Amino acid sequence: MIKLRVSPLMCWTKPKKAGKTFTQFCRGWVILALATSLTILSPASADAGPLQMGLEAFQDRDYKSAVQHFSQAIQQEDSPDAAYSNRCIAYLLMELPQLAIEDCTAALQLDPSRFHVQFYRGLVRYRLAQYEQASIDFTRYLQQSPQDARAYYNRGLAVFAQGQVEQALGDYQQAMTYASMLTPLEISNLYNDLGVAYLANTQFDAAIAALDQAIVWDDSDPRAYFNRGCACQRQGNYAAALRDFEQVLALEPNYAEAYLNRSWVKHEMGHHREAIADLEAALDHFQRQGDDQGVQRAKIRLQQLAMPVRAIG
């Protein structure tokens, strides 16, 4: 009998979700870094200048007003580097990445000692899929702040997106060294991406161990279950893979890739009808989400499973 070949599973990696990563993961770190870098400035008062008024608006999360105040400060002040560096962060949080890059660059040209701006520019460049430039920014930042887990983690994401898996592993592991500065959610994200890098490097046991830890730190994140399911499938542990994909769908019932991957696992386990049902569900979700590539993959797989089994000899 001719057995259908199982296509490689699609793992839930950061680069494929760059926009989501930028807004949900990096935002907290940007606010923390901003607060840390500006603690020497006095709070705004009734007669405060535009820079301090911008800081107060930023603290109130009124980023539009903050940009207006910082813009005024740039026009009025003899040394506008602080206003540029603060406005770039406001633009970053307003999802205006190109404006953020321009301000980061202006701030660094005026005052190269503001090395933390290099970190912010790296985040923006990663958001724009400028992975090589982002990794350069994070490297330069780390030369001045060599114990920052955030920079190692984000550089790991950037080099992983360039296919440099071994370097990404090194960066993630280095970030673990300084993980005491991270929140539980950030540590879970770090373990998840460490697991994805191990999976890309075909180190399946290490991938599963890392993803186990991601789930310990955050048991509500469907990415960790999905990626662990991928690793278990690659090992041939279909029962474990099935449990993980089912957990993904319990947490994220519209995630088409989980239906697609679960169909492959069910086919390997001999559950042909259930595999077909999962493929049809995957196709429906891909169509609803406007994912043309996903639609094509699901259709091809459905055609493959519909082919009659041939005997040899």
Token pair listed for 140: 């330069």
pLDDT for position 95: 87
pLDDT for position 36: 39
pLDDT for position 168: 96
For residues 237 and 272, what is the distance between their CA atoms, to the nearest angstrom?
18
pLDDT for position 305: 84
- Put simply, whether the predicted model's pTM sits higher than 0.75 gets the answer yes
Token pair listed for 303: 């055609």
- Do the Cβ atoms of 221 and 184 come closer than 8 Å? no
Per-residue pLDDT tens, the chain, 313 aa: give them: 222 223 334 555 443 332 222 223 344 444 444 433 433 344 444 456 898 899 999 889 999 999 999 999 999 876 688 889 889 889 988 989 899 999 999 989 988 888 889 999 999 999 899 999 999 999 999 999 999 999 999 999 999 999 999 999 999 999 999 999 899 999 999 999 999 999 999 999 999 999 999 999 999 999 999 999 999 999 999 999 999 999 999 999 999 999 999 999 999 999 999 999 999 999 999 999 999 999 999 999 999 887 654 444 4
